[in-house]
Structure 1
């Protein structure tokens, strides 16, 4: 009798555990389905792709204190709307501006980059990182050039 009672309790516990596991699985599946509806996952083949006309622009030689601006043109060559989440530069002297609205597949837009040469001298290579729902998620463009100083090199003073 004790064996039958123990066996009965064991079976009841096993059936209860199986039922709870099935309920948890159904809840997890429905939660995943709900989350998927709110934030659809796009596979790499269907993702947005940011293709720049040129990834580097040389602004040449400028005087210290001048500001230069360049517009990096790009096209969304992917299959989904391109959404830029952020764009930032390697230092505060370089400011990127970008569209906040989605860029449809096949459409183009620009990243406007302004470099302020105040306090800078010599060769410059400013990297702007653009983060979006693209493949790859990070894209980079470079603004390069040389900032000249007002000072004359030693030994170039006029002789009287």
Structure 2
């Protein structure tokens, strides 16, 4: 039998055990000079990850909501990129680092006139240097055309 086939899994297990033994256990603080990337990271948390605009007039103008977030990590947090699920959403955010424990805002502008009337649920993806990398927030509501309602009543 080929000794390479027998030794390969053994060496792999030995390597894994050695690396795992050098990591601090969950809940255990690393010793001095052993701070890991897990412990020195920014952590993005949105205070309110979903916002409901309620029932709105489709031609009533743009709607704005500011999502507040906090950096719960130990390193500065930087929002890198924000992707919206449709052209009816615009996102505005600062690229300045948010210090640990500090708060920031993500401003969302929803343009209901660009969509058909009805229930909507839009997704905003936020990419940052946070642990996990990507966070999702949503806006929802129901846009109506009051012109159509009056025409149907007559």
How does the TM-score come out when normalised to structure 2? 0.71
Paired residues for 1:1-160 under 5 Å: 43-65=37-59, 66-120=61-115, 121-149=117-145, 150-152=147-149, 156-157=153-154
Higher helix share: 1
Is contact 1:88-1:95 (8 Å) kept? no
Task: Tell me the CA shift for residue 153 of structure 1.
Answer: 7.6
RMSD over aligned Cα, in angstroms? 1.5
**Computing the radius of gyration over CA atoms, which structure comes out larger, 1 or 2?**
1
How does the TM-score come out when normalised to structure 1? 0.68
> How far apart in 2 are the matches of 1:89 and 1:98?
13
Q: 1:132 to 1:155 in 2, by over 3 A?
A: closer
Task: Tell me the CA shift for residue 77 of structure 1.
Answer: 0.2
Flag structure 2 segments of 5+ consecutive residues without an equivalent. Answer: 1-35
Flag structure 1 segments of 5+ consecutive residues without an equivalent. Answer: 1-41
How many residues of Structure 1 are paired with residues of Structure 2 in the alignment?
A: 116
1:14-33 per-residue CA deviation (whole Å, 9 max, x = no partner) reads: xxxxxxxxxxxxxxxxxxxx
